[in-house]
Amino acid sequence: MTAPLTPPPRVVVIGAGIVGCSLADELTARGWTDVTVLDQGPLPAPGGSTSHAPGLVFRTSPSKTLSDFAGYTIEKFRSLEVDGLPCFNPVGGLELATTEERWAELHRRAGYAASWGIRGELVSAERCKELWPLLDARKVLGGFHTPDDGLARAVLACRAQMARAEERGARFLGRHTVTGIERDGGRVTAVVTDRGTFPADHVVSAAGFWGPVIGRMAGVDVPLLPLAHQYARTGPLPELEGVNDPRTEASRPILRFQDRDLYFREHTDRIGIGSYAHRPLPVDPFTVPVYDEAPVMPSSYPFTPEDFAPSWEDCRWLLPALADGDIEHGFNGVFSFTPDGMPVLGESRALRGFWLAEAVWVTHSAGVARAVAEWMVDGRPATDVHGCDLTRFEDAQRSPAYVAERAAQQFVEVYDVLHPLQPMERPRPLRVSPFHARQQELGAYFLEGGGWERPHWYEANAPLAEELELPERDAWSARHWSPIAAAEARATREKVALYDMTPLRRLEVTGPGALAYLQRMTTNNLAKKPGAVTYTLLLDESGGVRSDLTVARLAPDRFQIGANSRADEDWLLRHTPDDVRIRDITSGTCCIGVWGPLARDLVQPLTRDDFSHQGFGYFRARETYLGHVPVTAMRLSYVGELGWELYTSADLGLRLWDTLWEAGQELGVVAAGRSAFNSLRLEKGYRSWGHDMTAEHTPYEAGLGFAVRMDKGDFRGRAALERAGEPRRRLTALLLDDPAAVVLGKEPVFLDGASAGYVTSASYGYTLGRCVAYAWLPPLAAGTQVHVEYIGEKVPATVAEEPLFDPQMHRIRR
Ligand code: FAD
Ligand code: THG
């Protein structure tokens, strides 16, 4: 081996729990061997959450990212051993249903498993009893069995990874308490401890639920709340005598009884029981006792038997063998919850070189560590991590009050049956558009996203729905849905509708270098005269789609970007040269989409400007006035109809709404919500970033090659695209064959009876009279028959030619 030309960067990892240890292993495996892992407690069990984790690893999740993380943890820990003891015991997993609602949910979970490539099978109550003989099978309707899940031995896995990392040069130092982070010019330079200062080019906070404490030292918000969670062990059970090898402790599947917020595992002849059934027990991370003063260890609080009492009854109801037994030992163990239940990963932009790897379960630890190591070493993780990116939180989502309320709610809902559209109940309303009062008057049904109240349909349109004939929906797909959405979609296709587009993220990019900069950052050609709007993509270095944007050139040196998430702003800001300024103008402005064949009839009388097809072309922008309101008008439409996005400042928003509303009365204007919006955009084949495509996909795979101009000069991701071969998978449009069938997203798609991909987003297409589902599949010819599995039912579907609606663009370009 030749020595590297430059020494590897100096990395200091704070925390030697499962995340810190896994990260040291992954970094050193990639040649970053100058790694120092510091922990305040003694090694190898310094007293964090890892030190007492019972280690259940269930891989199935609605989140593909989490499922991939867990898959890698299983694969990796299976290959690790310490003193002949394996770090993973693949006893399998078993989730039980004792209610019809849960049984349906297990069918959906079996669907996620098939979508993400996890082995799993729905099984009868008898089979559950075979797998777990202590069960009272009469209580059970059935189960979901995942044979590859099992038990991680977290402390052992720490030791194994420590040893490997140490062989490659890493250091692990226990009894070093971090007290400060040093910085210079927006970069970290060192970590200060009670036993000296450690210079560093990169610092990773893997401090578990102490994350907010380390975050404060660095001036970085770490939006997590530590909560205690009860874990108890029974005494020895005669039924388990001689059943399990004490070295591996368990032979039967890890068990989940989500109907009562409980899980179980074997500890040789005892049973361990975890409960989420109790009240949230928040812990202030700033007041956690230090190792030497903690009664057991810092992450272990005294057991509160009164909180466990109802759960104990539930345990005995399910497992009659416990009737004579007792709890021998219990504790309230602390770990991290975030406002959306996802980890918090990534590098702070304000303090470069300072990384977070927080709020990570043992289950996801190795996968997270691999992703963060790739991110640090290669500049990008191979897995889509946008749902974990620390930049995902809006300003209003980082207040301690918000974090506390949402995280506690995550705890309460951890095992609940949650509909994909189900909103959090509190704190609401948080962000409202200037039209909120009018929307309320119209009976808006609000759901929440990014802190925004977003109308999904308006009860005021109910009379329009009466004449429609729509197929019956099953109870699940009928939740957070209304036939009114169909009426609103129809009004958009036949007349004209107003859509609140305020939550659409808007950035203003200005300065002499703005054009050259945006040309380098995106795929399409933006060198057009002011007044042009361009649909374009942000790619990472590997050619993965980081986002899709609209860029309006409003003046030679001024651009307005329509973006998807906060991560777009973050990404752009990370690469901004000195002669370019980027400002998020979302909050101070608002937007209404006026779309439908009568949009021009509505808008033209309000302005002296020429809004004809010749006077105001498709994908053009203009600053003008509508009535009393100064607006930026852009002629484009995510719903595939004639019309404009109209932007103005927040103070004038209500006036803009009222102006359009009044002008539209004689045309039959309606307010329309996101439910119709999503249906219309899917009929038109417009992708939704984060759902349909992510950084895991290239533009060609996602069907977005039309937005890439290889001949315009260099841009980020171009070199990777040049190397890209023929796509092996494609984002594919499906139409469900049965006009009454619906799917919602994330369902598995089967080709010739074998799982071949998964649905990204789906909606009933009211114009087409069929449900539209986009799916990742191997390249397939139009007309190919597949089936989607929806709550255990095989739903036939056919690969369709795109776009499904108005391929000649007659409706938009006129
Ligand atoms: P930790 O293990 O907490 O490590 C963080 C380390 O940072 C600590 O060792 C701490 O000492 C150190 N540190 C903090 N501040 C400083 C400082 N200033 N200076 C130096 N060092 C510092 N997960 C599962 O996947 N499956 C389960 O079955 C499961 N069951 C659980 C049951 C219970 C009762 C509990 C409490 C948690 C459970 N979890 C489970 C969650 C899991 O334990 C944690 O999510 C995981 O261990 C977190 O690992 P970590 O490395 O991020 O944090
Ligand atoms: N409006 C604005 N900006 C946006 C969105 C928006 N940015 C984020 C997101 N939505 C981007 N998504 C799309 C997707 C498709 C189109 C616009 C934004 C679109 N595509 C046409 C097509 O594919 O035929 C035109 C493409 C072209 O001419 O190059 O209209 O909703 N402001």
| 674 inside domain | no
Q: Is the CB of 550 under 6 A from ligand 2?
A: yes
Q: Which of 72, 231, 263, 415 is catalytic?
A: 263
pLDDT (mean) for 191-202: 98
DSSP state of 684: H
pLDDT at residue 6, rounded to an integer: 86
Nearest atom (ligand 1) to Cα of 300: 36
Distance (Å) from CA 44 to ligand 1 centroid: 13
The CATH number given to whatever domain includes residue 242 is 3.30.9.10
Annotation says 229 is catalytic? yes
Pairing of strands 35-38, 11-14: parallel
Backbone φ, ψ for residue 142 (5° rounding): 165, 180
| Of 685, 707, 726, the domain-final residue | 726
pLDDT at residue 812, rounded to an integer: 92
Tell me the three state secondary structure of residue 135: coil
For residue 304, the enclosing domain spans 87-148+226-336
| 314 inside domain | yes
| H-run or E-run covering 316 | helix 305-318
Q: Is the CB of 362 under 6 A from ligand 1?
A: yes
CB-neighbour burial class of residue 428 (10 A; exposed 0-12, middle 13-18, buried 19+): middle
Backbone φ, ψ for residue 409 (5° rounding): -65, -35
**Banded model confidence at residue 324, pLDDT cuts 50, 70, 90:** confident
pLDDT (mean) for 525-553: 98
DSSP state of 689: B
Q: Is the CB of 636 under 6 A from ligand 2?
A: yes
Q: Which of 619, 741, 760 is nearest to 682 (CA)?
A: 760
Q: Which of 39, 259, 548, 584 is catalytic?
A: 548
Q: Is the CB of 686 under 6 A from ligand 2?
A: yes
Residue of 507, 645, 686 with the most ligand 2 atoms within 8 Å of its CB, for mutation: 686
Three-state secondary structure of 383-394:
CCCCCCEHHHCC
| Of 291, 311, 336, the domain-final residue | 336
How many domains, in total, are found in the chain? 2
Kindly state the greatest CA–CA separation across the chain: 88
Please report which ligand is nearest the Cα atom of 337: 1
- Percent of the chain topping pLDDT 70: 100
| 691 inside domain | no
pLDDT (mean) for 787-804: 97
Q: What is the pLDDT of residues 702-718, one digit of tens each?
A: 999 999 999 999 999 99
Asked if residues 352 and 202 have their Cβ atoms less than 8 Å apart, the reply is: no
Q: Is the CB of 548 under 6 A from ligand 2?
A: yes
In 313-353, at which residue ranges do the beta strands (DSSP E only) sit? 327-337, 344-347
Residue of minimum CA distance from atom 45 in ligand 1: 361
In 614-729, at which residue ranges do the beta strands (DSSP E only) sit? 621-626, 629-634, 643-649, 670-672
Annotation says 548 is catalytic? yes
| 706 inside domain | yes
The CATH number given to whatever domain includes residue 536 is 3.30.70.1400
Q: Is the pLDDT of residue 1 over 50?
A: no
Tell me the three state secondary structure of residue 723: helix
Q: Is the pLDDT of residue 571 over 80?
A: yes
**Banded model confidence at residue 85, pLDDT cuts 50, 70, 90:** very high
Q: For residues 273-294, b (16+ Cβ closer than 10 Å) or e, as one string?
A: bbbbbbebbbbebeebeebeee
Q: Is the CB of 54 under 6 A from ligand 1?
A: yes
Q: What is the pLDDT of residues 249-288, one digit of tens each?
A: 999 999 999 999 999 999 999 999 999 999 999 999 999 9
The strand pairing partners of 204, in sequence order, are 13, 355
Asked if residues 639 and 595 have their Cβ atoms less than 8 Å apart, the reply is: yes
Q: Is the CB of 535 under 6 A from ligand 2?
A: yes
Distance (Å) from CA 347 to ligand 2 centroid: 29
Asked if omega into 427 is within 30° of 0 (cis), the reply is yes
Please report which ligand is nearest the Cα atom of 617: 2
Distance (Å) from CA 460 to ligand 1 centroid: 50
| Of 286, 307, 336, the domain-final residue | 336
Asked if residues 202 and 376 have their Cβ atoms less than 8 Å apart, the reply is: yes
Q: What is the pLDDT of residues 630-688, one digit of tens each?
A: 999 999 999 999 999 999 999 999 999 999 999 999 999 999 999 999 999 999 999 99
**Banded model confidence at residue 2, pLDDT cuts 50, 70, 90:** low
| 637 inside domain | no
Tell me the three state secondary structure of residue 540: coil
Pairing of strands 35-38, 171-173: parallel
The first and second tokens of residue 269, run together, are 């002849």
Q: Which of 202, 229, 278, 787 is catalytic?
A: 229
The C-alpha atoms of residue 635 and residue 553 are separated, in whole angstroms, by 13
Residue of 522, 546, 550, 564 with the most ligand 2 atoms within 8 Å of its CB, for mutation: 550
The C-alpha atoms of residue 46 and residue 61 are separated, in whole angstroms, by 30
Q: What is the pLDDT of residues 725-773, one digit of tens each?
A: 899 999 999 999 999 999 999 999 999 999 999 999 999 999 999 999 9
Q: Is the CB of 140 under 6 A from ligand 1?
A: no
| 316 inside domain | yes
The C-alpha atoms of residue 418 and residue 732 are separated, in whole angstroms, by 27
Q: What is the pLDDT of residues 456-490, one digit of tens each?
A: 999 999 999 998 999 999 999 999 999 999 999 99
Residue of minimum CA distance from atom 23 in ligand 2: 686
**Banded model confidence at residue 560, pLDDT cuts 50, 70, 90:** very high
| 489 inside domain | no
The first and second tokens of residue 44, run together, are 């190898």
The C-alpha atoms of residue 414 and residue 679 are separated, in whole angstroms, by 30
The first and second tokens of residue 601, run together, are 């009839």
Q: Is the pLDDT of residue 455 over 70?
A: yes
| 614 inside domain | no
**Banded model confidence at residue 43, pLDDT cuts 50, 70, 90:** very high
